[in-house]
Amino acid sequence: MKIDVLTLFPEMFRPVMESSMLGRAVAAGILQIKATDIRQFSHDKHNKADDYPFGGGGGMVMMADPVFGAMESVEAENKKVIYMSPRGKILDREKIEELSKIPEMVILCGHYEGVDQRALDHWNAEEISIGDYVLTGGELPAMVLIDSVARMIPGVLGNENSALDESVYSGLLEHPQYTKPREYRGLEIPEVLTSGNHKQIDLWRFKQSLALTKERRPDLLKRYLEQEHAFSKEERRILEEIMKMER
């Protein structure tokens, strides 16, 4: 997958592109991520990329011309264009899976009070939000989108199935995790995890995931229960037990 990021602050993306999972995917040639500085397409002697909005109002708006120039430099007319915006649709599992199948995309990071609407309209940009709050710019949301989409691309994670197995992708929140030592400062791990009985361990994890999801994300649990599942006798017993518990 090739991702072009258009931003006023390309330096923010260097640590992300060179570190951890994304860094390894880039080094392996699975991902290509390039951050382009929008300011270099400004025709102002000071590389100005923003101006006051027509009609008045507070703040500044990114001008169309530098954005157009940046878009043309990455041949955006042949690619999926995304604009990170708090007024966009919330990024969710379905959208992440959809984007993971797109070979090339351009992510526009807004700043100030937004971007001249003509740039968004001309390049048919899809607006995407990561939540109902406002940040200082689109750079952090773009990183969230890139990271979440990259996890769905074959070869990026060590385990091809792990992206869909964990947390909300499986339909339930993830169960508690423990590692060595077995006892730390008087705190011991659940005995079942050292039993070697994998069936009982799986049932314990299932119960913990159900309980956590019921407590913290009842909306997820409701959606999970509306789906068809081939529960074993033991799993159904655990499910009935959890559902009877008071919230």
pLDDT, tens digit, for every residue of 163-205? 655 556 678 999 999 999 999 999 999 999 999 999 999 999 9
Query: Are residues 142 and 24 located together in one domain of the fold?
Result: yes
Task: Say yes or no: 132 and 175 in one domain.
Answer: no
User: What pLDDT, in 10s, does the model give residues 129-153?
Assistant: 999 999 999 999 999 999 999 999 9
155 in any annotated domain: no
Residues 84 and 13 in one domain: yes
**Assigned domain for 73 exists:** yes
What global pTM score does this model have?
0.87
Beta strands (DSSP E) in 138-192 are: 183-184, 187-188
Residue 108 sits in the same domain as residue 35: yes
Q: Which of 67, 44, 77, 43 is nearest to 117 (CA)?
A: 67
For residue 134, what are the contacts with CB-CB under 8 A and spacing of at least 6? 86
Annotated binding site for S-adenosyl-L-methionine: 110, 130-135
Residues 194 and 126 grouped into a single domain: no
The answer on 37 and 146 residing in a single domain is yes
Domain final residue, candidates 150, 175, 195: 150
In a domain, 162, yes or no: no
Phi, psi of 228 (to 5 degrees): -85, 130
The whole-number mean pLDDT for each consecutive block of 10 residues of the chain, a chain of 247 residues, reads 98 93 94 97 92 91 97 97 96 96 97 94 98 94 97 82 60 94 96 97 96 95 93 96 85
* Residue 31 placed within a domain: yes
Do residues 25 and 55 both lie within one domain? yes
Q: Nearest CA to 7 among 138, 118, 125?
A: 138
Same domain for 175 and 61, yes or no, is no
- The angle subtended at Cα 174 by Cα 169 and Cα 178, nearest 5°, is 145
User: Is residue 156 situated within a structural domain?
Assistant: no
Q: Are residues 28 and 138 in the same domain?
A: yes
Whether 82 and 174 share a structural domain: no
Q: Where do runs of H (alpha helix) occur along the chain?
A: 14-18, 20-27, 64-73, 93-100, 117-122, 139-150, 162-165, 198-216, 218-226, 233-244
**How many domains does one find in the chain?**
2
Known binding-site positions: 110, 130-135
Domain holding 218, by residue range, is 167-244
Residue 157 lies in a domain: no
Domain for residue 143, yes or no? yes
- Which domain CATH number covers 83? 3.40.1280.10
Domain boundary among 150, 180, 196: 150
Note whether 75 and 41 are same-domain residues.
yes
pLDDT for position 189: 97
Same domain, 176 and 111: no
Q: State the Cα–Cα distance between residues 70 and 124, nearest whole angstrom.
A: 15
Question: What was the pLDDT predicted at 165?
Answer: 54
Whole-number pLDDT of residue 50: 95
Q: Which of 105, 124, 150 is the last residue in one of the domains?
A: 150
Is residue 90 domain-resident?
Answer: yes
Q: What is the CATH number of the domain that holds 222?
A: 1.10.1270.20
